[in-house]
């Protein structure tokens, strides 16, 4: 899902609702005649005939290309104007010519004169395209709501922060579905232009299936490419480093100071280190530092050591990675010692529990630091190695 730092979730929620509303209105306008015509042409619905008379035919040439053909019919004492496909029969419909209407659920789906038949304009491509618009609107709406719940609906950069996790995958799948429908609608336009008629059901099903398979293959390749780029980013550093130093303050609060070679944010104090606070730190760095890429490190000191050393006589460093929906901290030099938590803030308690199992007499007074190293790029944060 593509977004920018200036687009808060509330903006995307509004865009999604507007897109859904507009597309629903268009679908409502074209659904009746379009659906009936497609049902008839695909052999999915029965029809009946009724006598009618041609009142007039109208041909409109559009300035940007394309031609619209309409037939005004009189039946049961009333007249109606219908848009039809191009065909040999259209040129024979003179004023006053008696014809037969083909009706499906009281909607005209074709005009018949003798053995010749002229189908109405089915608008199949618009039907598929507008359904794609509704699906796209749903994806945007869901993405905005989920990111808003995670980071605040009016928080700048909340969407980018949300997309840096794996939680945005469901919306990504919906985006692929909408893209498949859009490309299918475009393909239907080409087929109708070449054949001058409505594609049959097997043809439409084949088009959608082919585009879906192609889209799936492309999505898999893009995911692998992004993974490769992330791996490359983890092996190379930008040369510029900003560190958010987080230490305990009074009344259970946290002082955050920033150090680095370049412009850094002003120091601040936070009441908690929940997800909103962590995102606040990350967004401050992103807003203050305009150069890309830049290595960003969180150095968190949750414990006030009384002994000066850890249980094995060394200062311990726990390196954090964000995997799926949890944070995983690994003790440097001892990969078998790991602790995990669904939140960054919960890592300290998780590490205390693990270290207690390692035989530490007082795990709440560790001489240790929790570091989370990432690289800030033009596309957001990606995992990186340990900055120098």
pLDDT in tens, 368-384: 899 999 988 887 888 76
How far apart, in whole angstroms, are the C-alpha atoms of residue 41 and residue 118? 11
- Residue 385 CB-density burial (10 A; 0-12 exposed, 13-18 middle, 19+ buried): middle
Closest CA to 253 of 231, 265, 268: 268
User: Looking at per-residue confidence, does 322 or 315 come out higher?
Assistant: 322
What's the pLDDT at 387? 47
Per-residue confidence (pLDDT) for residue 300, from 0 to 100: 94
**283 Cβ neighbours under 8 A, 6+ residues apart:** 5, 155, 156, 157, 161
Report which listed range, 63-67, 115-119, 380-384, is most confident.
Answer: 115-119
Check residue 4 and give its pLDDT. 45
* Spatial separation of the C-alpha atoms in residues 112 and 295, rounded to whole Å: 72
* Average confidence (pLDDT) over 37-51: 81
Reply yes or no on whether the pLDDT at 87 is more than 90. no
Q: Would you state the pLDDT for residue 270?
A: 93
Residue 113, pLDDT above cutoff 70: yes
Note the pTM of the prediction, 2 decimals.
0.49
In the sheet where 78-84 sits, what is the strand order?
Answer: 78-84, 67-75, 48-61, 98-104, 107-113, 116-119
* Residue-level pLDDT at 60: 87
To the nearest 10 degrees (0 to 180), the angle between helices 9-41 and 124-151 is: 160
The pLDDT of residue 214 is above 90: no
The number of angstroms, rounded, from the C-alpha of 369 to the middle of its chain's C-alpha atoms is 36
Distance CA 56, CA 73 (A): 7
Q: What band does 305 get if pLDDT is binned at 50, 70 and 90?
A: low
pLDDT band at 168 (very low <50, low <70, confident <90, very high): low
Place of tokens 């394309």: 66
> Rounded mean pLDDT of 102-109?
82
User: Any idea where the domains of the chain sit in the sequence?
Assistant: 9-26+124-235, 45-119, 241-383
Instruction: Give exposure, 230-267, as e/b (b: 16+ Cβ within 10 Å).
Output: eeebbeebbebbbbbbbeeeeeeebebbbebeeebbee
337 or 239, higher pLDDT = 337
3-state secondary structure of 323: strand
User: What is the average per-residue pLDDT within 148-169?
Assistant: 68
Non-local (6+) Cβ contacts of 252 within 8 A are: 271
Q: What are the structure tokens assigned to 43, written together? A: 């052999």
| Residue 210, Cβ density class (10 Å: 0-12 exposed, 13-18 middle, ≥19 buried) | middle
What pLDDT does 363 receive? 63
Residue with tokens 């659906």: 35
Average pLDDT over residues 37-56: 83
The residue-averaged pLDDT of 64-85 equals: 83
Percent of the chain with pLDDT over 90: 19
Name the β-bridge partners of 73: 54, 80
Q: Which tokens belong to 49?
A: 């005939």
Residue 76 has pLDDT above 50, yes or no: yes
Residue 2: predicted pLDDT? 43
Burial (0-12, 13-18, 19+ Cβ within 10 Å), 72: middle
pLDDT of amino acid 351: 92
**Whole-number mean pLDDT of the chain?**
80
Decide if domain 45-119 falls under CATH 2.40.50.660.
yes
Token output for 312 = 């094995």
Q: Show the tokens assigned to 117.
A: 């038949």
Task: Return the SS3 of 80.
Answer: strand
| CA pair distance 215, 192, nearest whole angstrom | 23
Predicted confidence (pLDDT) at residue 341 exceeds the cutoff of 90: yes
Tell me the pLDDT band of 388, cut-offs 50, 70 and 90: very low
At 310, the pLDDT band (50, 70, 90 cuts) reads: very low
Element (H, E) at 112: strand 107-113
Q: Is it the case that residue 235 has pLDDT exceeding 50?
A: no
- Residue 102, pLDDT score: 83
Q: Tokens for 74, please give them.
A: 């009189």
pLDDT level of residue 187 (50, 70, 90 thresholds): confident
The CA-based diameter of the chain, rounded to the nearest angstrom, is 104
What's residue 226's pLDDT? 55
pLDDT at residue 132 in the model: 87
| Higher pLDDT, residue 77 or 302 | 302
Q: Which residue has the tokens 């920033």?
A: 258
Provide mean pLDDT across the span 279-297: 88
Res 360: pLDDT = 58
State how far the alpha carbon of 108 is from the alpha carbons of 35, 58, 202, 254, in Å. Answer: 11, 17, 24, 71
Phi, psi dihedral angles at 366 (to 5 degrees): -80, 150
Alpha-carbon separation of residue 136 from 17, 154, 182, 271, 382 (angstroms): 10, 22, 10, 38, 26
């Amino acid at each position: 899902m593509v977004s920018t730092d200036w687009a808060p979730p509330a903006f995307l929620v509004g865009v999604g609702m507007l897109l859904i509303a507009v597309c629903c209105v268009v679908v409502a306008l074209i659904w009746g005649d379009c659906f009936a015509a497609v049902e008839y042409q695909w052999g999915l619905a029965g029809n009946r005939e009724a006598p009618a008379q041609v009142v007039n035919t109208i041909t409109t040439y559009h300035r940007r290309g394309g031609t619209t053909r309409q037939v005004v019919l009189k039946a049961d004492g009333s007249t109606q104007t219908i848009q039809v496909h191009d065909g040999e029969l259209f040129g024979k419909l003179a004023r006053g010519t008696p014809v037969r209407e083909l009706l499906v659920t009281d909607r005209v789906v074709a005009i018949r004169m003798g053995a010749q038949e002229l189908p109405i304009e089915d608008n199949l491509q618009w039907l598929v395209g507008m359904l794609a618009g509704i699906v796209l609107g749903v994806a945007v709406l869901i993405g905005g709501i989920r990111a808003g719940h995670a980071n605040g609906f009016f928080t700048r950069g909340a969407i980018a922060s949300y997309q840096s996790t794996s939680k945005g995958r469901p919306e990504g799948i919906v985006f692929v579905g909408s893209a498949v429908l859009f490309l299918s609608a475009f393909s239907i336009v080409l087929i109708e232009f070449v054949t001058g008629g409505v594609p049959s059901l097997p043809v439409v099903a084949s088009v959608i299936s082919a585009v879906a398979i192609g889209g799936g293959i492309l999505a898999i390749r893009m995911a692998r490419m992004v993974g490769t780029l992330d791996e490359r980013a983890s092996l190379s550093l930008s040369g510029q480093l900003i560190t958010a130093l987080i230490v305990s303050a009074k009344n259970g609060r946290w002082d955050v100071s920033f150090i680095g070679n370049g412009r850094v944010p002003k120091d601040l104090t936070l009441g908690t280190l929940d997800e909103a606070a962590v995102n606040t730190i990350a967004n401050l760095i992103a807003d203050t530092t305009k150069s890309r890429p830049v290595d960003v490190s969180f150095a968190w000191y949750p414990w006030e050591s009384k002994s000066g050393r850890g249980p094995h006589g060394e200062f311990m460093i726990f390196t954090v990675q964000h995997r799926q929906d949890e944070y995983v901290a690994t003790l440097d030099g001892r990969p078998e010692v790991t602790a995990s938590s669904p939140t960054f803030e919960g890592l300290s308690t998780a590490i205390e529990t693990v270290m207690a199992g390692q035989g530490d007499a007082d795990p709440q007074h560790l001489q240790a630091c929790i570091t989370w190293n990432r690289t800030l790029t033009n596309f957001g944060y990606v995992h990186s190695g340990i900055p120098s």
